[in-house]
A and B are shown apart, each in its own frame.
Chain A
Amino acid sequence: MKFVAVIRQVPDGESRLKVQGGRVDLSGATLILDQMDEYAVEEALRLKEKHGGEAVVVGFGPERTEEAIRTALAMGMDRGVHVVYEGYADPVTAAEALAPVLREEAPSLILTGGQQADWDSQALGGALAEALGVPVVAWTTVLELEGATAKAKHDLDEGAEWVRVPLPAVFTTQQGLNEPRYPTLPGIMKAKKKEIKKVAFAGNPRVEILEEGIQEKARLGKVLDGKDPVQAAEELVRLLHEEAKVI
C-alpha cells in the first residue's frame, strides 16, 4: 500500500512575526514542518510499519519547503515530492496544484493536517478529496486499516463518530491521533540521500491577499496581588462589573 502525507512549512507559533509593506515578512521567523501535518507524517509511517508498502511525503510551497520535506524524510518517510509554488495559495488552488501528483502516486490514503498554522485554513482536506473524487474524514483521532477500507474515529463540531470509509480517501489529522517521533541522527543522515522530486506549478490563486497586519489587542494588564484572595476576588469582580462591564 502507499501512504501519502501532504505537508507545508510554516512559521513556528512561538516565533515573532513582523509585517513589511502590509504583508507578513517571514525572513526572521523560525520555519518548521506544520505541527498538524506532523501528525499526518507520523500516521503514514505507522501505517507503513504495520501494513508494509511505501510512505511518501508531498510538500507544497516555496523552495524553502524542502527543509520541511527533509524533516519528514528524517522521520522515516521513503521519498518526497515537492510541488514548488511561491506565495499565498487558497485551498482550491493548492488542491489543483497537488491533484496531478496525487493522481499519479495513487496512494490508498492521503493524510494532511486539520488546520494550517500560517493561513489558518481548514479546507485543504476537503478540496483535495473533491479534486480526487474520494471521501474525506476530517479531524481524525483514530485510524485503522481493514483491507480495502479504513475505520476511523473523528471529531464533529459536537461530539465524535466512528466511520468506515472505502479507500482511497483523504484524512485530516490532529492532536490525539498519535505522538510524532523526532528525527534521529541516522534518520537525518539518511534523509540527505533520499529523493525529492520537484514539480513546478504555475496556477493563479483565486483568493488574493491585499493586506496583513499584526493587530494584537492592547491589554490592560491590571494584575492584583492574591495574598488576600477574598479581597482580590472582590476587587476583580468590581472591575469586571464597573470598568469592563462584562458581568
Chain B
Amino acid sequence: MVLVVLDHDGSKLRKASLEALTRARQLAEALGEKVAGVLLAEGPAPVEEARGYVEVLYVAELGPYTAEKWAAALLEAAKGGAKAIVAPSSRQSRTYLGRVAYALKAGLLEDTLESAAEGGMVHATRYAYLNRVTQRQRAPLPVVLTVKANTTPLAEPLGTQGEVVPLAVPPVPTVEILERVQEERKGVSLAEANVVVTGGRGMGSPEAFKGVEELAALLGGAVGATRAVVDAGWRPYAEQVGQTGKTVQPSLYIALGVSGAVQHLAGMNKSKFIVAVNKDPEAPIFKHADYGIVGDVHQVLPALIQAVKRLKD
C-alpha cells in the first residue's frame, strides 16, 4: 500500500494534493501496490471529491491541527503495512512526518522534485544548501516522502468512487490550542502562485505596497516581502520569502527594491524567470535576474502597471 495525504481547505482538495497523488501512483505502480488516500480534517472535508481519486480513502476528523494528532492518524492508517507515505510538502507536513518517519523507522525524503522506485529503493531529487545544490538521494522501503509544490503533473480522477474507511485514532498527548491567528489573505496563496511580486526595503514605506498589490493582482499573482520589510512591520510575516520565510518557485518572480541577500535568494532562486527593479546597478539581485531595470522603483512600478494594463487590453 502507498498512502497519500490529501491536503484540502475544508471544501476542496489543494492542487498540491493532486501532485502528491501523481507521485503516489507512480511509486505504487513501480512497487505493485495500491494507493490509499488519507483525508485528515479539522471539521468538514471534501470526502466526495477525494474518493474519486483513490480506491480506498481513510478519513479522520481530528479537530484543529496538531503534529501529534496528524502523526497518530497517519500511523493508524499505515498499520496495514504502508510501503510509502506521500504528502504535499509544507511546514506542517515536514513536522508531523518527522514524527511518523521516526515511529516507522522510515527514510524521510523531504521536499522532493522527482521520485522513482527501483529495486526496493526509492530514489528522489531535492534541493539542499539553501536551495543552491541539487541532491540525489535514495532510501530503502518504507519511505516517507514529501512533494515540493509545482513539480509534478496533477492527477486525474479514477472515474470510480473509492471506499471510505473512517479511521479510529487513539487520543494522544498534544498541545492545547488557545487561539488561532488567521492570516489575512488576498488572492492566490504565495506557495502555489505562478507569479510572485515581492517588495523590499527599497519600496520605502508600507504605503508603497499598494502598487505591489496592484501589479500582483493584474498578473494573477501573490505579494511577497523580504525579511527587512517584515521586520519593519510593513507587511505580515506570512508574505515573507526567504530562508526564514516561504520558499517559492513561480514562473515569474518580480523583485522590486530588493537587494538580493543570500537569505532571500534561498527562498526564490529556483523561480523560472526572475525580474529585478532596483536603483542600485550593483545590487546582487541583478546577478540572479533574467530581466532587470536599473531605476527608481517609484517611477518604474506605476509604468509597469500601465504597461501590463495596455498588454491586457
B175 & A233 in contact (Cβ 8 Å cutoff): no
Residues of chain A at interface, number, CB under 8 A: 89
User: Is A186's CB within 8 Å of the partner chain B?
Assistant: no
Q: Which residues of B contact A161 (CB under 8 A)?
A: 64, 177-181
Interface residues of A in 105-119 (CB under 8 A from B): 114-115, 117-119
Which of B65, B67, B139, B182 is A129 in contact with, Cβ under 8 Å?
B67
B306 & A206 in contact (Cβ 8 Å cutoff): no
Which of B111, B183, B262 is A159 in contact with, Cβ under 8 Å?
B183
Residue pairs across A and B with Cβ atoms less than 8 A apart, 12 shown, are A36-B244, A123-B94, A123-B95, A123-B97, A127-B101, A157-B90, A159-B238, A162-B178, A219-B289, A229-B296, A237-B307, A240-B275
Instruction: Give A residues with C-beta under 8 Å from B.
Output: 11, 13-14, 17, 19, 24, 35-36, 90-92, 95, 114-115, 117-131, 134-139, 141, 151, 153, 155-166, 169, 172, 174-176, 206-217, 219-227, 229-230, 232-234, 236-237, 239-241, 244, 246-247
A125 & B243 in contact (Cβ 8 Å cutoff): no
User: Is B270's CB within 8 Å of the partner chain A?
Assistant: yes
Rounded to whole Å, the gap between the CB of A186 and the closest CB of chain B is 30
Q: Which residues of A contact B33 (CB under 8 A)?
A: none
Q: Which residues of A contact B217 (CB under 8 A)?
A: none
Q: Which residues of B contact A141 (CB under 8 A)?
A: 237
User: Is B229's CB within 8 Å of the partner chain A?
Assistant: no
A226 & B296 in contact (Cβ 8 Å cutoff): yes
Known: A92-B107, A162-B179, A207-B139. A223 touches B286 (CB 8 A): yes
Rounded to whole Å, the gap between the CB of A61 and the closest CB of chain B is 15
Bound CA–CA A95/B67 (angstroms): 17
B272 & A246 in contact (Cβ 8 Å cutoff): yes
Residues of chain B at interface, number, CB under 8 A: 98
Majority secondary structure, A binding face: mixed
Q: Which residues of B contact A233 (CB under 8 A)?
A: 293, 300, 303-304, 306-307
Which of B96, B136, B237 is A209 in contact with, Cβ under 8 Å?
B136
Bound CA–CA A157/B246 (angstroms): 9
Interface residues of B in 86-124 (CB under 8 A from A): 90-92, 94-103, 105-111, 123
Bound CA–CA A119/B189 (angstroms): 26
Bound CA–CA A234/B308 (angstroms): 8
Bound CA–CA A130/B294 (angstroms): 51
User: Is B207's CB within 8 Å of the partner chain A?
Assistant: no
Bound CA–CA A151/B91 (angstroms): 20
A118 & B91 in contact (Cβ 8 Å cutoff): no
A247 & B129 in contact (Cβ 8 Å cutoff): no
Task: Give the residue name and chain of the A residue nearest to B262 (CB).
Answer: A13
Bound CA–CA A233/B16 (angstroms): 34
Bound CA–CA A227/B300 (angstroms): 9
Q: Which residues of A contact B97 (CB under 8 A)?
A: 123, 126
Task: Give the residue name and chain of the B residue nearest to A150 (CB).
Answer: B175
Rounded to whole Å, the gap between the CB of B249 and the closest CB of chain A is 11
Q: Which residues of B contact A155 (CB under 8 A)?
A: 91, 237
Q: Which residues of A contact B177 (CB under 8 A)?
A: 161-163
B102 & A207 in contact (Cβ 8 Å cutoff): no
B137 & A160 in contact (Cβ 8 Å cutoff): no
Known: A165-B175, A206-B139. A156 touches B134 (CB 8 A): no
A214 & B227 in contact (Cβ 8 Å cutoff): no
User: Is B61's CB within 8 Å of the partner chain A?
Assistant: no
Bound CA–CA A128/B94 (angstroms): 13
Known: A14-B262, A129-B67. A117 touches B243 (CB 8 A): yes
A206 & B106 in contact (Cβ 8 Å cutoff): yes
B270 & A138 in contact (Cβ 8 Å cutoff): no
A207 & B289 in contact (Cβ 8 Å cutoff): no
Task: Give the residue name and chain of the B residue nearest to A224 (CB).
Answer: B293
A172 & B105 in contact (Cβ 8 Å cutoff): no
B307 & A212 in contact (Cβ 8 Å cutoff): no
What string of 1s and 0s marks CB contacts (under 8 Å) between B280-292 and chain A?
0100001111111
Which of B66, B102, B251, B310 is A95 in contact with, Cβ under 8 Å?
B102
Bound CA–CA A36/B175 (angstroms): 23
Bound CA–CA A241/B251 (angstroms): 12
Known: A206-B105, A229-B296. A135 touches B129 (CB 8 A): no
